[in-house]
Amino acid sequence: MILWSTIFNTLGPFTHLPHLQCISSESRCDSSYHLAGRLRAKETQALFKYTLSGVGEFRDSQKVYRVPPEHGFLCEVGDPEISYYYPPSGTEPWNFVFTTFDGNCAIQWARDLIRQSGPIFHLPQKSGVIEHLCSFGENREQHRVIQSDWGAEFVVTLLLALTRSREAGMTIAAEGGLAGRVQELVANNLDQDLNGKMIADKLKISREHLSRVFRRETGTTLHTFILQQKMDYASHLLKHTENNVKEIAARLGYDSPAHFGRTFRRIKSMTPGDFKAAGKLY
């Protein structure tokens, strides 16, 4: 379902500048939503799609990526190797905002970003560029006439934000070394029953080495970090979805809702029900 959409008509002589095409928001909740680049070969624009709530999935030639809240993906829509869709195992609507743009310099910038650091980016929902994207839903303008410099500035601001977010992530990973890889792996697999052995096997190192280095680099144990990340995500689901405790427990890889509830209370100092009613997200 399309929630709102603004199409931009650009005026001005500067045709070589990045060209903003549209900004839209949608809500999708079934597997019929599936877009594949191989079916859109004639479309030359780039796309940035950002998850507001729920989870989407993005596939390229390398792997399938989860796209949870506060994450987005960047791609060329006509790339035959990509597709994006509502997850087959989805249990709640995938709500997102997206923008499309073209222009030789902008497309090349997007390609460089994807090639160097992958298609997935993390940006806080309170960041300026995301708030700006979402602000277009306030007026619900279906068409808007803009000058070429305004559209170009918007596209450049977005690409700069993505570049900075990736550079910040690379700095953390470089400073943290192994810890950076572990943190990314955990963030992309919160729906799994994560443990030290599973992560060590994925990284092809011993569990003992993983535990020792992770604690040295982060100051906390891997077990505590995993629980904290899972309960932070559970907090988001409690506040922003209609999923009940049993559904959230299953989504996070817990066989027992009671086990999930005890863990949540230990980490958050309140029950899931109390958190949904009065807890705060920080």
Domain boundaries defined on the chain: 2-174, 178-278
- Helix (H) / strand (E) element for 39: namely none
Reduce the DSSP state of residue 177 to 3 states and report it.
Answer: coil
**For 88, how many CA atoms within 13 A lie in the half-sphere containing its CB?**
1
Gap between the Cα atoms of 237 and 243, Å rounded: 7
Does the pTM surpass 0.75? The reply is no
Report the pLDDT value the prediction gives residue 172, as an integer from 0 to 100.
41
Give the strand order in the sheet containing 19-28: 120-122, 71-76, 46-53, 94-102, 19-28, 2-11, 143-147
Report the pLDDT value the prediction gives residue 148, as an integer from 0 to 100.
85
Contact 19, 102 (CB under 8 A): yes
Report the pLDDT value the prediction gives residue 280, as an integer from 0 to 100.
67
CATH of domain 2-174: 2.60.120.10
In the CATH hierarchy, which top-level class contains the domain 178-278? mainly alpha
What is the mean pLDDT of each successive set of 10 residues along the chain, which is 282 residues long? 92 78 95 93 94 94 90 95 92 95 92 88 88 88 86 92 70 56 84 87 87 82 90 86 89 91 91 85 59
Gap between the Cα atoms of 122 and 48, Å rounded: 12
Cα distances (angstroms) measured from residue 28 to each of 54, 97, 128 = 9, 11, 25
